[in-house]
Amino acid sequence: MAVLPLLLALSFTACGLLRKPHLDATSGATAKQKTRKLALQFEHNDSEGTPYTIQTRGTAKNLVLNKLTTRQIEVLPDNDTLRVLMPWNYAILNEPIPPDAEGVTLIVDRMREHLRFLRKGEDAEQVYALAKESFEGKPFQIQSFPILPSCEAIAQDSPDMRVCFQRVLGRIVSRRFNIDVAEGQNIRLQLHITLDSTGQHQLQGVGGAISSDLVDEVKRVMSYFPKAKPVTHRGRAVSTQYVLPIQLRFQ
């Protein structure tokens, strides 16, 4: 009898580099300079109600937005930038504003964003519809990979980090799983697990389980999973999900 842990795909839900926002020395002091109006269409899809700070060099006062809104913002005619910050001062955008831009569509949520500048003659509603479609289908990458205690010596951006994560959990399953609960049947399980923002593994479901005893055994084995350093995204720890396949095979 053998337990063969098969770790196929760790698909994580959770880009960018952590940067300390730098406010231009001219910010807030541009009232004396000539500015122009830029139409901002902002859509907020953040379920946490997170406020976003909008900055330009031409705006004397920053905008703090957390709902759907359309308004005019002040920008310099040339060499201005549009900056978007999270509440903990993590900059998710720092984009040059094209001199010929007449508007901007910005869609955000907790994990991603989409920015689109409008030029003269473009239809704002059509641009918004295209931006919305792109936003909903836009993939994103996690900023980091969860780190288990025995994997700390590996560079975080190395492919070996994923291999180490798989190896550690696979070893625990192989050594701890009680094969008797499978009642002599060859079974393939899929564990749907959440790694929360504190680094704890939480079982969400067990695909392929033929009895409650199997589910209970999965929970028991998972109690041996070590706490991990969670994934970080946009400057803070976030919850992620992964799938852990396990094959129980009798020989």
Count other Cβ atoms within 10 Å, centred on residue 79.
9
What pLDDT band is residue 3 in, cutting at 50, 70 and 90? very low
Buried residues in 165-183 as b, exposed as e (16+ CB within 10 A): bbbbbbebbeeebeeebbe
Which domains are assigned to the chain? 2-15+143-249 (no CATH), 36-136 (2.60.40)
- The predicted-structure confidence for 21-66, as pLDDT tens digits, reads as follows 444 444 444 446 799 999 999 999 888 888 999 999 998 889 999 9
Q: Determine how many CB atoms are found less than 10 A away from the CB of residue 188.
A: 13
AA letter at 207: G
Predicted confidence (pLDDT) per residue in 85-137, tens digit:
998 999 999 999 999 999 999 999 888 889 999 999 898 888 888 888 888 77
Q: How many helices (H) and strands (E) does the chain have?
A: 3, 14
Give the span between the Cα atoms of 161 and 135, in whole angstroms.
Answer: 30
Hunting for tokens 């720092």 — which residue is that?
94
* Residue 70: strand pairing partners: 41
Nearest to 87 by CA among 166, 21, 150, 183: 21
Task: Give the pLDDT of residue 20.
Answer: 40
Which of 74, 68, 72 is closest to 26 using CA atoms?
74
Query: Which one, of 251, 181, 183, 186, lies nearest residue 221 by Cα?
Result: 181
Q: In what order do the strands lie in the sheet with 2-5?
A: 2-5, 240-249, 187-195, 201-207
Q: Are 111 and 233 in contact (CB under 8 A)?
A: yes
DSSP state of 208: T
Q: Count CB-CB contacts under 10 A for residue 17.
A: 8
Binned at pLDDT 50, 70 and 90, residue 16 comes out as: very low
